[in-house]
């Protein structure tokens, strides 16, 4: 099974929020749409769900053209950023309501809901209202509802952005295994590059309605296709050197090394990150970020350099990758 987006375009008034979008997501594949707010990632999701209609192009699930197919007939399981749980219904009813409108028999409803409640460890909360649940618990209910739908495609719209960092990290593997078990295409929208790299096996970095690059997390990190991707992926951010004969060079902070024959620099400040530390250096070619092990003794004025093969080179005018 595959989800295919072909030449999708969407505009509001005269401005295009999405243009020339091609995506293909296979079974069991999780594609993260990553980008700053306003890049069109949520619009893409809404177009797939049918909550918004594209002005150009077509969307196919398993070869079926979704044009003129209403959202209720698309068989899509979506987790909303707000979770979109029905506040007037208990958790059990929140899960049952979909089965009911899809015409499941009473015994089927009961059996399916109780098994998903067990799977998601929500049995004790079955008769509570969403408002009586914590953020993490609500998130599980929203996920349970999507799983219960047994959809052809999963869409997750910033599913963890309302949770605190610790909870987010502990939920990641759980969501990953649950969703990927389904062997269905998954589209995961996030603005958190760490989350994208943890959850997805493919990431599409988007900016201003365009896909800048699609690739595995590894590809995006090691050979970013543009300056935007290079600076969006990786924390602390990549160092961009001043342009030199039409070329902008980028060096990851961890690729900068101490070298007696290197260029002069002076430490401006340091940030402790635990096992490593971030050092801000003032150099003749501008300020540079450097990451070293926190055990390393760095002199006040270190001489630094980097391996030439770790350089990322970009064209000055197009911002595209050269090497």
Partner 1 sequence: MIGLLILPAALLIILIFGTPLIRYIWLSFHASSVITGLVPIANKGANWQRLINDQRFWQDSFQTFRFAALSVSLELFIALAIALLLNQKWRGRNLVRAITLLPWALPTTVMALGWRWIFNTPYGPIELIVNLIGLDQFNILSNPNTAWLATVLGDVWKTTPFIALILLAGLQTIPQDLYEAFKLEGGSNKEALFKITIPMLKPYILLSILFRLAQAFGVFDLIQVMTGGGPAGSTESLAIYAYLNAMRFLDFGYSSTIMIGSFILIVFSSIFSIYLFNKFKNIQGYSR
Backbone dihedral region for residue 207 (phi beyond 0: left; psi -120 to 50: alpha; all else: beta): beta
| Residue closer to partner 1, measured from CB, 97 or 119 | 97
Strand order in the sheet with 64-65: 15-26, 2-12, 56-61, 64-65
Check residue 76 for interaction with partner 1 (CB under 8 A): yes
By the rule CB under 8 A, 289 interacts with partner 1: no
Closest CA to 195 of 143, 236, 158: 158
Stretch of 130-138, 183-191, 192-200, 212-220 contacting partner 1, by CB under 8 A: 130-138
CB-wise, 67 or 88, nearer to partner 1?
Answer: 88
Tell me: does residue 130 bind partner 1 (CB under 8 A). yes
In 3D, which of 68, 86, 60, 89 has the Cα closest to residue 2? 60
Q: What region, left, alpha or beta, does residue 68 occupy, with left being phi > 0 and alpha being psi -120 to 50 degrees?
A: left
Element (H, E) at 229: helix 227-232
Residue tagged 């460890």 (tokens)? 121
Q: Does 74 bind partner 1 (CB under 8 A)?
A: yes
**73 binding partner 1? (CB under 8 A):** yes
Asked if 134 is part of the footprint of partner 1 (rule: CB under 8 A), the reply reads no
Q: Based on the shown chain and the rule CB under 8 A, indicate whether residue 87 belongs to the binding site for partner 1.
A: yes
80 or 222: whose CB is closer to partner 1? 80
9 versus 98: smaller Cβ distance to partner 1 = 98
Question: Which residues within the stretch 159-188 sit at the binding site for partner 1 (CB under 8 A)?
Answer: 162
Q: How far apart are CA 93 and CA 269, in angstroms?
A: 55
Residues 88-127 that bind partner 1 (CB under 8 A): 88-89, 97-98, 101-102
Per-residue exposure over 298-313, b if at least 16 CB sit within 10 Å of its own CB, e if not? beeebebebeeeebbe
Q: Does residue 225 sit in helix, strand or coil?
A: coil
If one asks whether residue 64 binds partner 1 (CB under 8 A), the answer comes out as no
Query: Quick check: 4 and 59 in contact, CB under 8 A?
Result: yes
The answer to whether 80 contacts partner 1 (rule: CB under 8 A) is: yes
Nearest distance from residue 110's CB to partner 1, in Å? 17
Residues found near partner 1 in the complex (CB under 8 A):
49, 51, 70-74, 76-78, 80, 82-84, 86-89, 97-98, 101-102, 129-132, 145, 149, 162
């Amino acid at each position: 099974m595959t989800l295919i987006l072909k030449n999708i375009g969407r505009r509001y008034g005269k401005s295009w929020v999405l243009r020339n979008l091609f995506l293909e997501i296979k079974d069991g594949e999780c594609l993260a749409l990553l980008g700053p707010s306003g890049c069109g990632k949520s619009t893409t999701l809404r177009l797939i769900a049918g909550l918004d209609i594209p002005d150009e192009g077509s969307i196919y699930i398993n070869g079926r053209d979704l044009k003129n197919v209403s959202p209720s007939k698309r068989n899509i399981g979506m987790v909303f950023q707000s979770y979109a749980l029905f506040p007037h219904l208990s958790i059990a009813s929140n899960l049952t309501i979909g089965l009911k409108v899809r015409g499941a028999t009473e015994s089927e409803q009961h059996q399916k809901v109780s098994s998903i409640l067990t799977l998601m460890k929500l049995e004790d909360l079955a008769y509570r209202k969403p408002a009586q649940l914590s953020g993490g618990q609500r998130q599980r209910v929203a996920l349970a509802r999507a799983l219960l739908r047994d959809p052809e495609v999963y869409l997750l719209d910033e599913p963890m952005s309302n949770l605190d960092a610790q909870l987010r990290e502990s939920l990641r593997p759980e969501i990953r295994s649950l969703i990927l078990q389904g062997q269905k295409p998954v589209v995961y929208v996030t603005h958190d590059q760490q989350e994208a790299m943890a959850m997805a096996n493919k990431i599409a970095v988007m900016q201003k309605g365009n896909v800048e690059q699609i690739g595995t997390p590894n590809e995006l990190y090691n050979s970013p296709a543009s300056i935007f991707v290079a600076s969006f992926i990786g924390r602390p951010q990549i160092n961009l050197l001043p342009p030199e004969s039409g070329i902008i060079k980028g060096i990851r902070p961890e690729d900068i090394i101490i070298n007696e024959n290197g260029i002069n620099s002076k430490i401006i400040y340091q940030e402790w990150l635990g096992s490593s530390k971030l050092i801000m250096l003032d150099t003749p070619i501008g300020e540079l970020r450097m990451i070293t092990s926190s055990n390393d003794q760095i002199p006040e004025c270190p001489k630094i350099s980097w391996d030439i093969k770790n350089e990322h080179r970009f064209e000055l005018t197009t911002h595209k990758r050269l090497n």
